[in-house]
Structure 1
Amino acid sequence: MEEVYVLGAMRTPIVGKNGLFRTIRPEVLGAEVIKALAAKFQLQQIDGIFGGNAVGTGGNLTRLMGLMAGLPASVPACTVDMQCASAAAALSLAYAKIASGQGDLYLAGGMESSSLQPLRIYAPADERYHLTPAQDGRYYTAQFAPEDLAPDTMLRGAEQTARQEGITRQELDEWALRSHKRAAQAAAQGSLQDIIVPIQGQTKDDGIRPRMSEKLLRRLPLLLGEGTSLTAGNACLINDGAAFAVLAGKNYVRQHRLKPLAKIVGTAALGGNPAESPRGAMATADKLLNRLGWNYEQLQAIEFNEAFAVIDVLFARQHPDCLDRYNRFGGALAYGHPYGASGGILLAHLLKSLQAAGGGRGILAIAGAGGMGEAIALEWIS
C-alpha cells in the first residue's frame, strides 16, 4: 500500500442555522475552503474530490463546488452521504484511492447548510406519504431504520443510550460546560485561527458561549419531556459550515518537495444499532485501534464528534485517564454540528491538537445516523 499524507486542513467558521450564513449555499462555503487550500499548497494535477453532504439539494454538490472553486473541469468529484459521518467517509475514500495507487492527490471533506436545507416531500405513491406528521408527505428528517419514521429519532436514540447506561442530566451538562470552556479558551488564544477561512468577513465561530454556566444549563427545558435528560445545552446545535483537507501520496510529496503534517495510518467504518447511534463513535475508534494494535493511552490527541454529551460520558467512563487529550479545543456541543462537514472539522482540529501536543498519534471518530460510525488514525510527522 502507498503511504498517505495530510498536507493540511482548513474550515469555515461554524455558524448557527439561520445565522450569518443563512443565504450561502453549501457548495459556496466549500468552494471558499477549496480555493484557500489550492492557493496555500499550490495544488497541481488534482486526481479528485470527495465531499460529504447530508441535507443539501442533491445533484452531486461536490462537482458543483469544484467548478465554483475554479478547479479544472477535468477534476472528477463525488458527493458522499453517510449523514453525520459523511465527511469522514469522504476522507476515508480519498485515503483508499491513494493507498491503492489510483491517484496521488485528493481533496476531501464536507459542506453543509442547515439553513438552506430544501423542503422534502414524499411522492404521493410512497407509502410514507400519509405517515408524515401532517399527513401531507412533508418531512424534515430522513428515515434511518425500517421501523422508524419519527423526526426525533436521533434524540430518542441518545436518550435511550443515556437511560441504558444510567447517565444523568448532571453528567451531560458537565460535559457541555467543559466543551464551551475549552472552546472559549481556544478562541481567546487563537488556537484554531490559522485554519479558519473567512467568509464574508466572518472569522469566528458563533456557537461558543464563554459565560456558559451550570446555572444556565439547568434552566434549559427537557427536549423529550419529564423524566428525560437531553436539553438544547447537552445536545449539539444545528449549523452551517465546510471543511476540507489535502491528502497526497509519497510520490506527490517528493516531487513537489512538500512537508506534510501527518500520515494517515488507517481508517475504519462500522454499523450498529440504529436506535443507539451515539455508541458508534467509540465503537468505531475501538475497532480501528484494535486493528492497528494501539490503545487510547498511546494517543496524544483524540477528537470525537460530540453530537450529544452522551458520547463524551461513554468515553470518559471507559478512559478517565485520557481526558486531557480528548477534544482539547472543545467539541460540537460548543461549536455546533454542520452534519456533512463535521468529519472534516474533526480532522482539522485533530491536526491542531497533535501540533499542540508536540506530535504523536491521534484518532478522530464520529457517529452517524442509522447506527453508523467512521474513524481515522494519524501519526504526526511535521
Structure 2
Amino acid sequence: MDRYTAALLVIGMYTWCYGQSAVQSPWPKERGLIFTILNRYGWRTKVQLRHLPIYPGYENFSGRVPGVNFSNPNTHFLSIDVDYRTKCIYMYEYHLRSIVVGTGYTKDMNTSNMEFKHMHVGVSRGNIQVAVDWLSHTVYWTDSAFRWIVAAPGQKNKTDMDYYKIIADTHLDKPDGLTLDPLEGYLFWSDNGKHPKIERSDLMGRSRHTIFSKYLESPLTLEVDIFGKRIYWIDSKQESILSTTYNGEDVISIQRIPNSVLFELAIFREVIYISDVRNGNVYTLNKTKGIHLGKQESTTIRIFPETIYGLAVYGDENQPLKDKDYCAEKNCDHLCISTKTGAECVCSEGYKKNETSGKCQGWYWKQLNQDHYDHFIF
C-alpha cells in the first residue's frame, strides 16, 4: 500500500427521490459506497480503491472522494464485499489470483490503521464474486473456471491459516454471481453455462435447487434484498437488471441499459447501484415496483479517468443481527456456518472433526508461504 489520494466529485439527487435531511433522519458517520477502481486510460495513477461517504439517491454530495494508492500498478481489485462491524473488506484481486482482506477499514481510508494481505491464494482468473456472511464472519466466493463455490473464515485471527471449505463443486458449469441472506440461511448463485440458471441452497450447499431459469442468457452478478426477500442480478447479454423472489416468483425487469457492460450491483433501501465498465459510470436506479421502477435517482457517478468495477454498501443497516451471536457461543475451530436457527462448526478441507473433542484434525497439512506473495502486491 502506498498512500492516500482523493478525487473531486459532485452528486445531486433528481426531483423524485428518497432524500432525507440530517435533521429528520441523522445518518451514521461511517457509511457510504466502496468502489474498486481501474485506470483504463493509462494515466499514471495507482488508485485501486475509493470510498464515497454518502448513499446516492438519498443524499447530495460535493467534495473529494477518498482513495488509497497501492505500490504495484498491476493490482486490480474486482468484486468486493464488506463486514461492517469488524471493519474488514474482502476483494478478489485479478493479477495474483487471490482473495485479499483489508482490516481496520474506515470511510476516511486512514492508511495508518489499514492493513491488506492475501487470505487465500489460488483462485482462477475466471468470473469471481465475493459475498460476506456478517453473522458468522465467513467469506464466500464463486469461481467460474474451477467450477466451485468456496467458503473461508474471515476473522482476523484465521485469515493467515488458509482454512477453506468447498461448498459446491458438482453439476456446476460456470458459477458466476453470488449473494446470501444469513438471517434466512440462504445462499444464491448464478450458473452462466450452457443452461443458465439461478440456484439456492443453505450456506453449506445443502437443499440445493434451481429457483429460476426461464429467459436467462448470461446471469452474472447477484445481490440480495434481505428486507424485501428478493434477489437482483445482471444479465450481461440482455444489458438488463432483473429481480425475483427467493422462490423464483414475480420476476421483474428493473431497467435495460443499451450499449453497456454492466459489471456489479449493490443495494441500499429502495435504490440499486450498478457499475458500467464500458464508460466507467455508476447508475442509481429505483427498484420499487410501480411508476418509479427503474428511474434514475441521482446524477450518474463517474470519477474520470478511472473506471469503477466493484461496489459495496458500507453501513450497519444492511447487516442486521440476530438476537444472539451463535458463532461466538460455539467458538468454532475453523469455520462457522450460519443456519436459519443458529450455526454449525465445519472443518477446513484436509481436516476432519474429532468426535470426542470436536476439534479439527488434519489428514494432511500444507503450509503456504504467504510472504512470497505479499511483497508483490503491497
TM-score, normalised relative to structure 1: 0.26
User: Whose strand fraction is larger, Structure 1's or Structure 2's?
Assistant: 2
User: Whose helix fraction is larger, Structure 1's or Structure 2's?
Assistant: 1
TM-score, normalised relative to structure 2: 0.26
